[in-house]
Amino acid sequence: MARKTTTRRNSYSKAKPKRSVFGSAIRFIFYSCLVLIFLGTIYHYRAGLAFYLGFKSGKVLEEDEVDKHLSDVRNIQVLENHKGKVIGIDVSEFQGKVDWEEVEILEEKYPVSFVFIRATAGNDRVDRQFTQNWAGAKENKIMRGAYHYYRPNENSIEQANLFIKTVKLQKGDLPPVLDIERLPKNQSLDSLKKGLKRWLTKVEAHYQVRPIIYTGERYYSDFLKEEFGEYLFWIANYNFYREKIEDDWLFWQFTEKASLPGINHRVDVNIYNGDLEQLQFITVE
């Protein structure tokens, strides 16, 4: 005889849980915050967005230009945040041949008042476009300055001599600039700093004006700020969230992705921490 089996119903195993009111509230708050952040970002960058979505809205963007135009939105915002400051650029052979007669206005609104031009690199390299750029800026009445790209593993005095031989500063030119971006491979930081000071001392003695130091913000704060406090600094920082120049920066290079008439390649843009009269005050006499 077959055994009769019975199935017992577990009263708690099949119960359908009720939707948590608390969980729904949390989700509502979360998505609301996302919307507010999105709207806040649009409002914050309204100047740049208006510029590109307004009278430039008819321009069709190629796929490989999207990144550049996102940068442009931020660049416009930075420029709008520094009304009254002086705007300039820096160039080297990487920008190709520059038509200096066309270099005048950035984004159809912001005058280009100064340019730093790469003259030399290391102990043996003269920039291929330096002579043309140096003369072109002068002929078109753009305040000019020259910079040297420092190679940490090469003799500092030889590097200074090459710069001095190449660059003839005139009245109204900006002070010479030492560009230091890399750490040494086969020497200590102390040795690097001694080399930098030897370059700076020799160049200052020759031109009778104290050089400016160019570097990245992290390099500046980690290695140079304390021991080179007597020098003025030109700082590079392209961080999307940085939109104001620091009080102790003389110049701020805030982008490397700007477009400018007369230059076929993207170019760096800089802000001087003062007005035009103050900029003229620091030039060579």
Catalytically active residues are: 90, 181
Question: Structure tokens of 272?
Answer: 């001087």
Query: DSSP states of 88-119 as a string?
Result: EEEE-GGG-S--TTT--EETTTEE--EEEEEE
138 phi, psi to nearest 5 deg: -65, -45
Contacts of residue 200, defined as CB under 8 A and 6 or more positions apart, other chains included, come to 178, 210, 211, 213, 231
Count the Cβ atoms, other than its own, within 10 Å of residue 150.
25
What ranges in 16-117 are assigned the alpha helix state H?
Answer: 21-44, 46-53, 66-81
User: Long-range contacts for 100-105 (Cβ within 8 Å, ≥24 apart)?
Assistant: 100/133, 100/136, 100/137, 100/139, 100/140, 100/142, 100/262, 101/140, 101/262, 102/261, 102/262, 103/140, 103/142, 103/260, 103/261, 103/262, 103/263, 104/261, 104/262, 105/261
